[in-house]
Amino acid sequence: MSKETVQSPYVMSGQFTPDNCALILIDHQVGTLQFVHTMSPEVSLRNAVMLAKAAKAYGMPVVLTTSQEDHVQGPTSPALQEALPEAYTNRIKRTGIVNAWADPNFSAAVRATGRKKLIMAAVTTDICLIFPAISAVQEGFDVLAVLDASGSAFDMQEEQARRRMATAGVVLTTTNTAIAELVQDWSTPQGSKLVPLIMASEPNTPGYAG
């Protein structure tokens, strides 16, 4: 955590903080994003980039993974490549394994962060997110699944994936809530940097980027 970060004495029990969690982004690839129809794929990507910027502001560990970049899934979105150049360079390139956690290189990279709390988003929710999120919980990690940085092709797929994750102990959340949980105090240097991101994501706000 940055030396400038001031930890509030009023931290919730089990709270995800910059000191105890890592950001995990799965399969935000230019082709895979086109499978998202339960929300705008552009909004899903924008929210993933917001999470990336929040993690970067706090110096949090980040793990990126992709699947079959030379197939229809395509490369990682350029916006994420730009936001997280180091994590992109070190990304785990899976050869087709559906459950990213089953790829030993990916799960080893997550364990290597030394963090037991994971903020996780993936495209899509019903395939790319559900399995590694549940697998990580079963291994003893706390997982915060960011639903509006994910998405599915159909509402039924999204709903059932959310239900199964929640039943398995995955905590469901949204981008703004996840970032606010990390920040806790907007007057900190990091908070001041991240407020404009939150404001730009709100409809009917000047500069809204939706």
Q: What are the structural domains, with CATH classification, of the chain?
A: 21-200 (3.40.50.850)
Which of 36, 128, 143, 165 is catalytic? The answer is: 128
pLDDT of res. 190: 87
pLDDT of res. 103: 97
pLDDT of res. 201: 62
pLDDT of res. 68: 95
Burial of 196 (0-12, 13-18, 19+ CB in 10 A): exposed
pLDDT of res. 3: 44
Burial of 153 (0-12, 13-18, 19+ CB in 10 A): middle
Neighbours of 9 (CB within 10 A): 5
Digit-by-digit pLDDT tens for the chain (210 residues) are: 444 444 555 667 889 999 999 999 999 999 999 999 999 999 999 999 999 999 999 999 999 999 999 999 999 999 999 999 999 999 999 999 999 999 999 999 999 999 999 999 999 999 999 999 999 999 999 999 999 999 999 999 999 999 999 999 999 999 999 999 999 888 888 888 888 877 776 554 434 333
128 tagged catalytic: yes
Which residues are CB-neighbours of 93 under 8 A, at least 6 positions away?
65, 66, 69
pLDDT of res. 94: 96
pLDDT of res. 8: 53
- 8 Å CB contact between 34 and 75: no
Burial 85-116 (b: 16+ CB within 10 A, else e): eebbeebbebeebebbbebeebbebbeebebe
